[in-house]
Each structure stands twice: as C-alpha cells, then as structure tokens.
Amino acid sequence: MPITISDLLHDAVPYALPLQHRFRGITVREGVLLRGPSGWGEFAPFDDYSPRGCALWLAAAAEAAFGTWPEPLRDRVPVNAIIPALPAADAGSLARRAVLEHGCSTLKVKVAAIGEVLADDEARLVAVRDAADTALRSLGRSEPALLRIDANGGWSAEDAERALRRLSAYDLEYVEQPCPTVDEILELRASTEVPIALDESVRFADPRALEAADIVILKVAPLGGVAAALALAREWGGPVVVSGALDSAVGLSAGLALAAALSGEPPACGLGTGVLLARDVVSEPRVPQDGYLDVGRVAPDLDALMAARDLLGDDRARWWKQRVVDAWESGGEELIAAL
C-alpha cells in the first residue's frame, strides 16, 4: 500500500529540545517524530529550509518509519566531538570533557561565526588543541587530537585563504565548507594545502562540487534518506564523513545506519551532537562512550517525548504539522513513493 500523508501524520509528535549552548543561532531544537511499522523517523529541517528542501527531510523520515535500512557491517561507529562557536575558555572546557568523559580524540570546531573575527577562531582553536592534547596525555596517549574546523560557508575565498594560513598551524585534518559557492572553493583549492570537505555544495547538486572536494560530508536527512546518501557515497568513491544535523536520538540512528553500511572502517563521524542537548526524546541522551556510538534503531521514551511535546507549545506544533504537509506537497509525495 502506498504511504499517504495521513499515514505520516497519524502518530506524528512535534517536539522541542533545549540545547546546552547556542548552536547555529538557536537555543532550542525543534522537529516532528513520525511513527510507522519500521519504527520512528525524524523530520527536523531548520527554519530556513524551503518546502522543496524539506521534502528530502520528509523522505528520510518516511524511510526510517516505513522503509528499510541497509544491513549494518559493524555494530558501532567512531564519532567526533563538536565544539560550538564559544569563547575560548568554554571551548577548551568542552574539549577536555569530550576526551575524558566521552573518549573522543577527534574534535570538530566551529569557526567563522557571525559577529566573530579570525582572532576569535584562533583563540578557540588554540584552547581546544591545548585542552584535548593535555587530556589525552593524562590518559597515557601520546598521539595528538585530530582537529577539524567547520566554517558553514562563512568565508569568501580571500577570507578563507587568509584564515587557513593562520589556522593550519594547529594541524587540521580538514576544513568543512569554507565558502558558500563552488567557484570560491575551486579558487581556494589553488591556495591552500588544507583538505577541503564539502557539505552544502554537495547537497545542492552543483555538478562541479564533487570535483572540488577532497572529502564529502554526508547527512542523511538533507539527502533524502540512508539509501540516497549511500548511493552518493558509492558514486563519489572517495573519502566520506557521515554527519548529523543536531538530531535527537531518533534522528542520530539514521546517521549511524549509514555509517554502519559503508564499506571500510569509517573515519570519526559527526554524530556526537547528543551532548549538545540539555534534554532528548529518550531518558538517557545518546552520547559517545569511549569515542563510539552503538548502531541501532531508537524509540523515544514516553515521558521524555511528552515533555518535549509540551515544551513546544500548541502554535508551533501546528506549524510543524503544516510543514510536513507543505513538504509532502512540494515533492515529498513523489520521493516517498519511490522508496
């Protein structure tokens, strides 16, 4: 039987989850959980997504709730910690906790935030490098932490070149989405030896994006599901890093399913964002243990889900359900029919 919009909305639960720190300009993460015969899926596009862009997120949620995922090749995957655009002292404290409490030796640091200057990014990176390496040494580990930076397209090619000349001194594994356009990234490639990972450019299907990338960042929801993301990984054939979108524990399970299906041992995945949530839709947030997360579907806990629903409020709950309808009408129906 074809999936209908009524099927999607029948057990839909909009939710709100407070964050530990401001991230991507928000302090509360919102979305909708959908339930189907396969389990739970998450529809949580950020507010700036168009209905057409939201259609891909809806397809990913429907795949999780009504479809199937590939057979896993491993039962756990390594993850990186994520350090938001915080003052240096706070960033260093988070880095130390990431190593000592969660076992993460790879850390992704946000840079190029609105209202900040390069000196802020450098101070944050210095603090993270020092705190993470010191914490690793305290555990008897001599290897330094792996540091990644993510600019979210916040630099021009000229700004990125200047920034990477300074920030590369801190031994970067790669820079993620340094510029907003492929033209700027191609220009940057000629002036930096720092590997470039592309996220947004790949998502928006510029045919030159894969040529510009050294590494491809794969996010299940914006790509339309685990199967679609896995197909892109195989088409690309080069290094990939699976990442998330500040997901709840339910949404993280889709990213973990993708990482578990990749051939070869995946590098640390950007799925350690559970530590950024003050509350989750499960009673125990899904946070890294010894630098790993276990693979498997997650069902919300009733009490936690009801608390997250009540925090959202009636007006936003209606807005989110209408957003599901808008995504369905803007291409979601066709995408879901093809699952």
Active site residues: 110, 219
- 237 vs 242: CA distance, rounded Å: 14
Taking alpha carbons only, the member of 66, 34, 95, 82 closest to residue 327 is 34
Residue 219 burial by CB count (10 A; 0-12/13-18/19+): exposed, middle or buried? buried
What's CA 166's distance to the chain center, in Å? 26
Task: Copy the structure tokens of residue 135.
Answer: 């914490």
CB 294 within 8 A of CB 76: yes
Radius of gyration for the chain, computed over Cα atoms and rounded to the nearest angstrom: 19
Q: How many CB atoms lie within 10 A of CB 288?
A: 23
CA dihedral 159, 165, 170, 171 (to 10 degrees): 110
Q: Which residues contact 186 (CB under 8 A, 6 or more apart)?
A: 208, 211, 212
CB 281 within 8 A of CB 252: no
Residue 80 burial by CB count (10 A; 0-12/13-18/19+): exposed, middle or buried? buried
- 122 vs 198: CA distance, rounded Å: 22
Question: Measured between alpha carbons, how far is residue 235 from residues 187, 232, 240 in Å?
Answer: 24, 5, 11
- 81 vs 34: CA distance, rounded Å: 28
How many Å is the maximal CA-CA distance in the chain? 57
